[in-house]
Amino acid sequence: MPVLPDLPYAFDALEPHFDSRTMEIHHDRHHAAYTSKLNAALEGTDFENTSIPAVLSMLDKLPESKQNAVRNNGGGYVNHNLFWEILGPNCGGSPKGNIGTEIDNNFGSFDNFKQKFSDAAATRFGSGWVWLVLKSDLTLDVYSTPNQDSPYMTCDTPILGLDVWEHAYYLNYQNRRPDYVNAFWNVVNWERADSIFKEAKEDLDKTAC
């Protein structure tokens, strides 16, 4: 059954970009709530021991009465798992390794990619996420999803994700989502994103989603 992972750094590690209080509430309350509600929704189904990305790629196999709860809380669970992983102190800058090369190949340049990603964050109405994903044809794409919808639902693998729910930024940035998005670029852990990209490519070879 899904377990809430510890944050891989201290609550205040991403200051001044992401403030300590927001990180604490975001992890200990929001992510914890998605995790416990996901467990409650999966209980008694055939999917208690299935990986959550796999469950999200076949929501229609769940009992109809469980599908919404698993979509929202399963998405909330895996989206935040990835979010904490791709952030870090003393990070930011330009992408390293293969992910840097592939961003150049797919978007023309890192600046073009950043612009596309930031635009998607600014134009996502209401709550949602912005993604850099690996598609099954091995190309990269940028798009946003509403609510807690996950790229796994459409068989894409998320490499980088940015939470644009107000709970992610309101304490520090109030309604200034673009300032929060600018701050995000200072805390992206590109080394970890590169290893996630590598794992995603290997997993694609193994599964036929």
Rounded (10°) CA dihedral 118, 123, 124, 130: -20
- Which residue lies nearer to Mn ion by CB, 107 or 129? 129
The CB-of-84 to Mn ion minimum distance in angstroms stands at 10
Applying CB under 5 A, the site for Mn ion has a residue count of 3
| Per CB under 5 A, 156 contacts Mn ion | no
Evaluate whether 23 touches 9 at the Cβ level (below 8 Å): no
Distance CA 14, CA 98 (A): 25
| Per CB under 5 A, 163 contacts Mn ion | yes
Residues 15-34 that bind Mn ion (CB under 5 A): 30
| Per CB under 5 A, 149 contacts Mn ion | no
| Per CB under 5 A, 102 contacts Mn ion | no
Residue 155: count other Cβ atoms within 10 Å of its Cβ: 17
Give how far Cα 99 sits from Cα of 27, 102, 104, 132, 203, Å.
27, 5, 9, 11, 16
The piece of 1-9, 143-151, 155-163, 177-185 that touches Mn ion (CB under 5 A) is 155-163
Residue numbers at the binding site for Mn ion (CB under 5 A): 30, 163, 165
